[in-house]
């Protein structure tokens, strides 16, 4: 499928193939860090940033290391190592050169290393044999889509804080129900573009 325009991929990965709402990837942090809108925004920003960087680097690693050495069967291990190393370096660099941003995002970075959406995007990129620009737009779109979804859930949960809820349903159970309804709503977009 290398002919799909990167821009279509970009919008599709935000709306119709949203990482959370259609692939259900990165659920852990999505559920646990969505109780406050401000925090959710921070995590969304961090995920987007890390997604773009890791996908681009993993694309390079895949193309110039994994393929020539014919070690595709090791790709999972290698991708994870690359992601972990990159997040480490990113945190150090941010602490040094962008203290403002580090104050905002620093605490989220270690959490992101093990976010499955990050590895998921890399693996989709490999499975769908995207080129460089496609991968770039795909990762950017997926990051923004993830950000959008967690912000929506956080906004709803903030509203619900003042609502009287039956005790059994409050907490994670309700978050799942809300996510399900949001996912159904997003299915409505599926006629617009398809990439999978």
Partner 1 sequence: MDFSIILRTVGSLALISGVLSVIISVAEKVLNNYGTCELDINEGQKKLSVQGGSSLLSTLAGEKIFIPSACGGKATCGLCKVQVLEGAGPLLPTEEPYISEQERADHVRLSCQIKVKGNMRLMIPEELFNIREFNCTLESITDMTYDIKRLRMKLPAGETINFKAGQFMQFYTKPYGKVKEEVFRAYSISSKASEHDYLELLIRLVPGGICTTYVHTALKEGDQVRLSGPYGDFYLRGDCEELIMIAGGSGLAPIRSLVYDVIEKGLPHKMRFFFGANTVRDLYYMEEFAQIEQEYPQFKFIPCVARPEPEDNWTGDTGFVTVALQNQVDTGEGKEAYLCGSPGMLDACIKILKEKGFTDQTIFYDKF
Partner 2 sequence: MKENPKKEQFRDTMEEGELVKDGFLGEDERPVDEIIAADQALLAGAGFTAERIGAAMRTLTRQGMAGMGEEVDAGEYLVKAEEYMGLIGCPFKDNHRAAKRNTTATRKSTGRAMMWTDLGIHLIQKHGFFQGKGSPYRLEPLELAAFLGLEAE
- Tokens 């609502």, located at residue: 163
Binding mask 147-186 for partner 2 (x = CB under 8 A): ------------------x-xx-xxx--------------
Contact region with partner 2 (CB under 8 A), list: 27-35, 55-63, 96-104, 134-142: 27-35
Specify the 3-state DSSP secondary structure of 151.
helix
Cβ closer to partner 1: 99 or 171?
Answer: 99
User: What does the CA dihedral 39, 40, 43, 45 come to, rounded to 10 degrees?
Assistant: -110
d(CA 16, CA 12): 5
Is the separation of the CB atoms in 154 and 37 below 8 Å?
yes
The listed partner (partner 1, partner 2, none) that binds 74, CB under 5 to 8 Å by sort, is partner 1
Residue 111 touching partner 2 (CB under 8 A): yes
Applying CB under 8 A, which residues contact partner 1? 65, 69-71, 73-74, 77-78, 81-82, 85, 88-89, 92-93, 95-96, 99-100, 103
Tell me the residue length of the chain: 196
First to last CA, the chain: 10
Please report, as ranges, the residues that interact with partner 2 according to CB under 8 A: 28-29, 31-33, 35-36, 39, 107-108, 110-111, 114, 165, 167-168, 170-172
């Amino acid at each position: 499928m290398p002919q799909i325009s990167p821009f279509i991929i970009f919008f599709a990965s935000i709306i119709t193939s949203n990482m959370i709402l259609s692939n259900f990837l990165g659920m852990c942090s999505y559920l646990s860090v969505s109780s406050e809108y401000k925090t959710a925004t921070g995590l969304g920003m961090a995920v987007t940033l890390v997604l773009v960087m890791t996908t681009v680097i993993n694309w390079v690693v895949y193309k110039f290391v994994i393929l020539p050495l014919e070690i595709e069967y090791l790709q999972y291990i290698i991708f994870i190592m690359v992601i972990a190393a990159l997040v480490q370096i990113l945190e150090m660099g941010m602490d040094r050169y962008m203290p403002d941003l580090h104050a905002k995002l620093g605490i989220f970075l270690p959490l992101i290393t093990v976010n499955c959406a990050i590895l998921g995007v890399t693996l989709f990129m490999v499975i769908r044999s995207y080129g460089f620009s496609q991968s770039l737009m795909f990762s950017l779109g997926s990051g923004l889509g993830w950000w959008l979804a967690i912000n929506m859930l956080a906004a709803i949960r903030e509203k619900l804080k003042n609502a009287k809820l039956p005790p059994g349903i409050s907490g994670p159970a309700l978050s799942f129900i809300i996510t399900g309804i949001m996912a159904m709503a997003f299915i409505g977009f599926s006629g617009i573009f398809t990439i999978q």
